[in-house]
Homo-oligomer: A and B are copies of this chain.
Amino acid sequence: MTGSSVNAKRLLGRLLELGSIGRDDNGRLIRLAASDTDKLGRDCLTSWMREAGLEVAVDRIGNVFGIWTPSGAAGSTKPLMMGSHIDTVINAGIFDGCYGVLSGLEVIETLKTGGFDPVRPIVVGAFTNEEGVRYAPDMMGSLVYSGGLDVDEALATVGTDGSVLGDELARIGYAGTHEPGFMQPHAYVELHIEQGPLLEREGVAVGAVENLQGISWQKVTIEGDANHAGTTPISMRRDAGLAAARVITFLRERAKASITPTVATVGRMEFEPNAINVIPSKATFTVDLRDPDEDRLLAEESALAEYLNKLAAEEQVTISTERLARFKPVAFNSNIVAAVEVAAAARGLKSRRMTSGAGHDAQMIARIAPSAMIFVPSIAGISHNPKEHTPDADLIAGANILLDVVRKLTASED
The chain A residues found within 8 Å of chain B, CB to CB, are 194-198, 201, 213, 215, 217, 227-234, 236, 239, 241-242, 244-249, 252, 255-256, 261, 263-271, 274-280, 283, 286, 288, 290, 324, 356-359, 381-384
Contact = CB atoms under 8 A, between A and B. Distances in A.
A230 B357 contact: yes
Contacts of A265: 229, 239, 277-279
A320 B256 CA distance: 26
Contact of A196 (B232, B280, B283): B232
B271 A288 contact: no
A201 B236 contact: yes
A311 B324 CA distance: 32
Given A230-B357, A268-B271, 20 more contacts: A196-B228, A197-B231, A197-B233, A198-B231, A217-B276, A227-B382, A228-B358, A228-B381, A229-B290, A229-B357, A232-B357, A234-B252, A234-B263, A239-B265, A242-B266, A245-B249, A267-B277, A268-B276, A269-B274, A269-B283
A364 to B, nearest CB: 16
A201 B237 CA distance: 13
A384 B239 CA distance: 18
Given A201-B236, A248-B245, A252-B234, A228 B195 contact: yes
Contacts of A198: 231, 233
B271 A267 contact: yes
A242 B249 CA distance: 7
B290 A261 contact: no
Contact of A244 (B245, B288, B383, B384): B245
Contacts of A256: 234
A267 B237 CA distance: 13
Given A274-B269, A276-B267, A279-B267, A241 B230 contact: no
A263 B230 contact: yes
Given A228-B383, A229-B263, A241 B234 contact: no
17 contacts: A194-B231, A196-B232, A197-B227, A197-B233, A198-B233, A213-B230, A228-B358, A229-B263, A230-B357, A231-B358, A234-B255, A234-B264, A265-B278, A267-B276, A269-B269, A269-B280, A269-B283
Contact of A252 (B229, B242, B268, B277): B242
